[in-house]
Structures are given as structure tokens and as C-alpha cells.
Amino acid sequence: MKRKILLIVLIVVISLVVAFGTFAGTTYALYTKEKKAVIILPGLFASGLYDSETGKAVWDPFEDLDVYYGDIMPPEGGINFGKIAALLLEESVADEVKKIMANQNYGEEDSLLNLMAVNEDGTPAVPSVVGVPWYEYEGRIKYGAINAQKQMYFSIYEKYKDDYNVEIFNYDFRRDNRYTAELLEDYINQKGYKEIILVSHSNGGHVAAIYLARSQANRDKVKKYISYNAPYLGSFSAIRILENLDTMIPDMVAGIPDFWKKALKNIFNNLEDVFNKQFMKILNMWTVYHLLPNYELLTNEYDGEQAAYYFDGERKIFENEQELYEFYCSRPWARHENGELKPAMIDWLDYIDSLKVTLPSGEKVYSPTLVDTTYFAGMDCEGPNKVYFETKDDALVMTDAQTTTKGDGTVLLTSAVAFEEDLSKITFWHGVNHVGVNTYFEEYCQEDTYAAIDKSIDKPSWYYSMWFKILKK
């Protein structure tokens, strides 16, 4: 009789252990997923924007079209004008073009470019235009403008969905990245995430770095940081754009085949006028100025190469950050027509510091060096690393640029890894240009990304592991 009672008690205990173990395991998995997230930070112009008052997509506005970023900006470089011409035949695109070219190229009030305009004080002309919220919006642009992050998102989601929420943090790329980093911090805290994997591309790396630099508490949450081609030290693309605003459209049109110029004659004939009347207002944005090459990029050699500015044939050696800053402030693009500095330039040096953490020793280091970071750097794509200025009519004018293949065509290797010398922290992608990360993520980046994340993520806690071992027996 005692044996029967003991047997019954044993069966009950085992049943409870199994039941509780299953409950504990399920509860743990649900709890950890609820508290853990992979957060993707898109690059410049890649975030989806919408009008929070109307709920309508702003950037990009073609929700009804199955168009992909890589169709327009292929990874081999250039622009696919054939795809653009096909899109112009779509009714929604044609209607938007009409809006942009209305009112003698000043555009209708709700044209794409006017909705994205930025005031001279750096504030959005339409305050309700903001980044698309991940949980509140079901349209296509939650995956970024023109599906920019869609392939990256679904690749990471399918791999890690059982353990992590996977999200895209769309943000207003026109605004100060410090403001965006604060929004990111608030979002992570409000969601209650205790462990996050940050994945950033290009300008998203600045947002990530500033978030990491804001506090040790933020850094403690980051289990892994994946950095794709982030211009931590700036990009020569920024200086080339700003120095060539007057010739940007003519230069771009000059490189377009005559066939497309004739086929899209009405658009090309108005392109420069639209640029001056509408797009120039978008260039009051903060980020282009914040991405200018910084002092460290121009004064430190890396991997045998030296980025530099040349004045009248001589390399300009800037004595300190302040001298470089004063040079930038002397450029026409740094000021409004009334002579006042643009907001992004007023505290440019403070912005550069916002990517760094000051150690107890007083040394300043880039914040990604203080967490488990893997830098992914595109290589073997030609991009500028030396820019030449000449004095003409008592003014310095940018005249030429020298290129290197140590980078992805937009961001130099030096900048993408912030002088990191530990090669175990760097993954080189040869022949992958700056947009290739987004457009062909599965082909170029997927396996390396999985390997970097898998190496760093936690195994189940000791508590869950204990129950797993019991159940396994």
C-alpha cells in the first residue's frame, strides 16, 4: 500500500515538474521576447515618413506600387532610368509629378517636396511629418522608403523572431540626430526592452552612436551592435554635395543618356527650376552638415591612406578642430542669405563630440568601441578621399577630387570603422557599394550578419536551462 502511495505521489510530482517546466519555459520565452528586440536604424533618406495628422505616406508616397529600392538604385551603382520611366507611367506617380511642377515649379502645398521642406531655423515646415511608427502603421513604408529595409527586416525577423521582437525605427532624417537618439532612448525605455541588438546602416550609425554615448545604462542594454557602412568620421559625399549645389542638376543631367532626356523632356526641362524652388528647402536639414568630414578623418592616416583637403595644390594641415570648423563656417553653404550660420553649423563641434564618450582618463572614444560591435565595411568601390580647392577671384572653389577603392563609394573604410585596428571586429564586403547593404541584403550580408549576432547573443538563463535539462532527461 505504501508503495502504491509513493508511486502515486511520484507520478504527481513528475507531472507537476513537467507541467511547471513547460510553463516556465513558455513563460520565459514569451517574457524574454517581450523584453528583447532587434532594432534596425535606416540610413539617410531611407526612413519612411508619414503625416501623423492625415495618416498618409509622405516619403515615399507610392503605397500602391510594388517598387523596390534596388530596382531604382542597383548595387552596381548609378540610377536605373528605365525603371524610373516605367514608374512615371503609373497614375499615382504622374499625379505627384504634376503636383511638384504646379504653380510655376513652386509646387502645390501638399507636393512631396513641400511636405518635406525644412525651415531656415532647421524645423520641419510641416511639423506633423514624422517617422513612421512601427506598431501603429500597416502600410509599406514602415519598411523604409521604397522598401529600403524590407529585405533586411524579413531576413533578420525569420532568423530571430522566436527570441526577439524585430523592428525598424523609422526616424525623421532631416532633423538633428541627437534629437532622434533621444527619441530612440525614450522608445526603448517605454517598451521596457532590457536587451537590444542595434543594427544600423549609414546615418543610422550616427543615431546609434549618439544613443550609446548618452549613458552607460543605454550601453548596458546593447547585447550586440551591427554597424553597416556608418560614416562615424564623416563622408566626402557631404562636402561634394554642398560645394556643388549650383551645378548638381546640370552635372547629373549631363550623365543621362540622350534617349531618356528626350523621353522625359518635360521633366528634365524643369528639373533645375524645381530643385532651386523646392528641393533646396530640404537642404536646410541637419544631417548633411553633420556628416561633413571631421578633424580626425583629415589628420590621421589609416590602412596606408590619408584623407585630405588640398588648397592650391598643397595639403591643408588643420591645426585643430576649431580651425576646420572655421573653414566650414566660411563656406557659402554654411550660412543663410542673411549671413547667419545655419543651425546645424552653429554647434557642429558639439555634435561631433556627441558620438563619443569621455573616459575617466579624459580620453574621448567613439561610443561603439564600448559595446560589442561588428563593423561591416564595403570595399573596392571608388569614392573620394581627397578634395582639391583652388583660389579663383579671391575665393576657394572646389575643383577636383581624388578617389580610392578603400571604401564603399560613399563612406571610406577609415570612417566606417572609426580607426578600429582589431580586424576581428571588422567584416569586409568586397565589391558591395553603399546601397548594396539594403538592396541585396540576403545575397551579400545575411550570413555574415547571422554569424556576428549568433556569436554574441545569450543562451537561456540558468533557470530555464535547469528545467530544460530536467525535461530532456
Give me the mean pLDDT over the 203-211 stretch: 98
Domain match, 195 and 225 both: yes
* Contacts of the segment 20-23: beta carbons below 8 A, 24+ positions apart: 20/467, 21/467, 21/468, 21/470, 21/471, 22/471
Count the domains in the chain.
2
Q: Name the pairing type of β-strands 383-392 and 395-404.
A: antiparallel
Highest mean pLDDT among 5-19, 193-207, 276-290: 193-207
pLDDT of residue 27: 45
Domain match, 30 and 43 both: no
Q: Name the DSSP letter for residue 127.
A: T
pLDDT of residue 254: 59
In percent, how much of the chain has pLDDT > 90?
A: 70
CB under 8 Å to 296, separation ≥6 — which residues?
233, 419
Domain span at residue 405 reads 37-454
81-100 pLDDT per residue, tens? 777 778 888 888 889 999 99
Task: Output the average pLDDT for the chain.
Answer: 87
CB under 8 Å to 95, separation ≥6 — which residues?
none
103 — alpha (psi -120 to 50), left (phi > 0) or beta?
A: left
124-154 pLDDT per residue, tens? 999 999 999 998 999 999 999 999 999 999 9
Domain match, 6 and 155 both: no
SS3 264: coil
pLDDT of residue 26: 44
Domain match, 244 and 372 both: yes
Domain match, 141 and 13 both: no
pLDDT of residue 5: 45
Domain match, 467 and 323 both: no
Domain match, 342 and 280 both: yes
Domain match, 31 and 58 both: no
pTM reported for the whole predicted model: 0.89
Domain match, 32 and 48 both: no
Domain match, 189 and 60 both: yes
Domain match, 16 and 82 both: no
Domain match, 23 and 61 both: no
